[in-house]
Amino acid sequence: MPLVHITLLEGRTVEQKRKVAARITDVLVEDAGAKREAIVVAFHDTPRDSYASGGVLMCDKT
């Protein structure tokens, strides 16, 4: 069972997540031979104040 974890800064719409999940699922079916019904895509929405890049919280970046 392929399990794909995707961590994003919060703010993506449900429609955006639907499209991403569908495309990732398609790739795993087509290129990895996975069974569509066995693929799980889990989204983890992270607040901007809980994610840092280069030592700086995303909420502090302009």
Active site residues: 2
The three-class DSSP label of residue 5 is strand
Q: What's the token pair of residue 57?
A: 């919280």
Euclidean distance between CA atoms 52 and 12, whole angstroms? 18
